[in-house]
Amino acid sequence: MPIKRLLIANRGEIAVRIIRAARELGIHTIQAHSTADVDSLAVKLADEAIAIGPPQAAKSYLNIPAIIDAAKKTQADAVHPGYGFLAENAEFADACAVAGLVFVGPSANAIRMMGDKVAAREAAMRAGVPTVPGSDGRVDDLETARRVIAETGFPIMIKAAAGGGGRGIRIAANPEEFDRLVPQAKAEALAAFGDGGLYLEKVIERARHIEVQILGDGHRAIHCFERECSLQRRRQKVWEEAPSISLPEAVRRKLCASAVALAEAVHYSGAGTLEYLYDDASGDFYFIEMNTRIQVEHPVTEFITGVDLVREMLKIAGGEKLRLKQSDIFMRGHAIEVRINAEDPAQNFMPAPGTVTELRVPGGNGVRFDTLLYQGYTIPPFYDSLLGKLIVWDEDRPAAIARLIRALHELQIGGVKTTRSLHLALAADPAVASAQFHTRWLEGWLESNATKLAAE
């Protein structure tokens, strides 16, 4: 049955994004919010809103009983989890099903399988998708770990089996570091995800981070091409673009086909992203994990394909079969997204919440700004620092970078420090212009350009 009343169990710019897509489909929107978000843009835009708890996320946006109760009170028939918070929580998906609510996303079983990185790796291997050399499953003791390292060599990446966002990850360059870092990674994974399980992967030097956007209906899947997400700070993406200019066309076809094969193998429903490491020296690519939700960077894919991914999610969750065929998906031009955070690049990216005293949003052809801001809004200090995403499109990458620079100069957010200066500096850098970067490039660049950032 088509969705009629949708509860948005998230906040910020993604909540605004979901409200807009839902309204275009004639769906009544209900914004769940903490008491800290009572004045948020999402609350103002939704058809109705309901408080689910105090500012602390554990008592509101992560409170499954409170969200289910809110859905029942407002007579919602579906829940969209957005990204983060409970978006990849199988127990939440199960709770929605028990309550008779549609969960806008994949099944709980698919979330469990692909959310556990070891299980996802095993599923990828069964589907014939190449994986990074490493442990076949969880590593429970040092003897097993040393056997893996004997085959892969150092450096080795120690990774949490559950969760994501760069937490529970350590890189060991030698046996001494390995013995010291394993307990740290285990403790961090246990604290962050309630699961201290670890597995090992060989470090691919100077790797690129490539991800493939897929849509599925539980039976059939398609891809919407790939995104390049190699510009990262502390394993958090900073700048994303589509397509990746580093991929030869033959590799692109093979990589995207592997993503579809894996999505169909796990009967995936909704929007999802399969992440890979790509070694452009050898041309090899390796699956690393799947994100069973909409991604922060989904707008760049929407720009180059014309597909509204959130709207397709809602249609599929409402019972429609995937209407698009692979032959319907074409790629045109180049898109770039930069994350505008309430952080001070000159002070080691210290969070900088405050009140927005001025807001000038860039416009013009090929420019989009997805944001939670309005003039006079006070940014609460309880959540992540993402204020918005500036996305640009043009016919080719150099033109897209030029448009990005113009739009960044046009963007004005008064009253708070933001990462705008970082993106202006990156957009002017010759290495970025020629796409000569990898997943660890930005860390070194930041060290070399600290003075420049401080001066802006």
What does the alpha-carbon distance between residue 175 and residue 307 come to, in Å, rounded to a whole number?
48
309-317 vs 12-24: helix crossing angle, rounded to 10: 70
Q: Nearest-CA neighbor of 319 among 11, 25, 20?
A: 25
Q: Nearest-CA neighbor of 273 among 254, 252, 253, 288?
A: 288
What does the alpha-carbon distance between residue 364 and residue 320 come to, in Å, rounded to a whole number?
35
Neighbours of 26 (CB within 10 A): 9
For the question of residue 234 being annotated catalytic, the response is no
Structure tokens at 22: 């839902």
Which strand ranges, in their side-by-side order, compose the sheet holding 78-80?
48-53, 28-34, 5-8, 78-80, 102-103
Q: Contact at 8 Å (CB) between 127 and 167?
A: no
What does the alpha-carbon distance between residue 30 and residue 401 come to, in Å, rounded to a whole number?
37
DSSP annotation of 191 reads H
Q: Contact at 8 Å (CB) between 389 and 340?
A: yes
Q: Nearest-CA neighbor of 135 among 124, 120, 121, 123?
A: 121
Q: Nearest-CA neighbor of 117 among 136, 92, 144, 143?
A: 136
What does the alpha-carbon distance between residue 454 and residue 190 come to, in Å, rounded to a whole number?
36
Choice among 17, 121, 208, 293 that is catalytic:
293
What does the alpha-carbon distance between residue 8 and residue 98 come to, in Å, rounded to a whole number?
18
Structure tokens at 281: 């020296």
Torsion from C-alpha of 138, 141, 146, 152, nearest 10 degrees: 10
Residues belonging to the active site: 293
